[in-house]
A = this chain, B = another copy of it.
Amino acid sequence: MNDNNGTVLDLCRRARHAAQRLSQIDDNTRSAALQAAATRLRRDAALIEERNRKDLGAGRAGGLSAALLDRLLLSRERIESMAAGLEAVAELPDPLLEPIRSWQAPSGLDIEQRRIPIGVIGVIYESRPNVTADVAALCVKSGNAVVLKGGKEAIASNSIIADLLAEELCSAGVPEDAVQLIRSTERSDTQAMLEAEEFIDVIIPRGGPGLVRAVAQHSNIPVIKHYEGVCHVYVDSAADLAMAADIAFNAKVQRPGVCNAMENLLVHESVAEEFFATIGPRFEEAGVEIRGDDKTCTLLPGARQAVEDDWSREYLDLIVAVKVVSSLDEAIDFVNHYGSGHSDSIVTVDEVAADKFLDRVDSAVVYVNASTRFTDGFAFGFGAEVGISTNRLHARGPMGLRELTTYKYVVRGQGQLR
């Protein structure tokens, strides 16, 4: 159990000590501990629901929207799904066993680049209390300790989940301090976490752009940003237009509130009229608001005029900005200028055009003939997901267990000198 009276710095220090021990524990122990934690969450589901009702009551009293209250809710089904998530992570292959490389240097030294846990991961997140269990599982599985800081609206739910995890992990041989939750809701305590560079190796902010920006700005610790996705679909002059309509519709409508949903749709002028004749009615039927450039507004009577600001907005809603372009180059330049470097797709049967788009669009994930919605750790086959990094360094795009590791060089000699 965490010490409610300890300072944030004490709690981070304990996580650092736990990380040193955790890195020496084998995968069987780490995985069995996660299995045990899953069982515990199921067994104590009623207790979790009870604490969750406290958060929901406070949220209702504080005027949280229905959408936010739904994000906060831990139904019996969601608790089951959280437990199943722990088991799924437990069953993944040990990321620390994945080899990097080894070689012999000219001096005869045998050099091994060995995968190791990063150490202590700090995660700052909003609303959804299941993140507490998900992230703790990914960190423990990859041999990392974790310091969690959830939103104050979920404090009772997060606390009981963290308590149950810590207790059960500890019984199963994982240092209990490996999973720490900051329970204070003081801003100064979050700041103390962001300055605890001696004890935390990396900070991962998961939440809205405001949260991510504030964390990046105030942290002395390296940050792996999970920033917004202003994603594009570009319908090329050589597109299969039926496929293009399906992809554009899927990328916008299937789940508009996530970072890999499409925000901007670019259409080559030579196919614009024909393409709009298909996608226009489908968007209209689905209730999608269209904000278009001049040509789009001429061809699609339902569209309203887009303003400059619309081209770089992450709507996270049934709104799409649509522009007619006169060339592939214009499309590429547009994506690189207005996009957020997250996920962008070209629809075309022209392989030269596809290759040019894939080469030149400077985004974490570039697609040809597929929906941008595939950018996540599960769809990529990682079996789990910390989130989608918008950093360029260390981890880019979907982050799985591997991205929670780093390396050291282990060098064996026979007395070599320089």
Question: Which A positions have Cβ atoms within 8 angstroms of B?
Answer: 20, 24, 103, 105-107, 109, 111, 118-119, 201-202, 217, 220, 222, 224, 240, 243, 246-247, 250, 254-255, 336, 354, 358-360, 362-371, 373-374, 379-381, 391-394, 396-398, 406-418
Contacts and interface: CB of A to CB of B under 8 A. Distances in A.
Contacts of A358: 410
Given A107-B379, A222-B391, A392-B201, A246 B417 contact: yes
Given A20-B362, A391-B222, A415 B103 contact: no
B417 A380 contact: no
- Number of this chain's copies in the assembly equals 2
In the A-B complex, the 6 residue pairs with the closest CB atoms: A370-B413, A250-B417, A394-B394, A393-B394, A243-B415, A373-B418
A250 B415 CA distance: 10
Contacts of A364: 408-409
20 contacts: A105-B379, A224-B393, A246-B415, A254-B418, A358-B410, A363-B408, A365-B408, A367-B412, A367-B413, A368-B412, A369-B414, A370-B411, A370-B412, A370-B414, A371-B416, A374-B418, A392-B406, A393-B394, A396-B407, A397-B408
Contact of A369 (B406, B408, B413): B413
A254 to B, nearest CB: 6
Given A369-B412, A369-B414, A379-B418, 10 more contacts: A20-B336, A24-B360, A109-B370, A118-B392, A222-B392, A370-B411, A370-B412, A393-B394, A393-B406, A396-B407
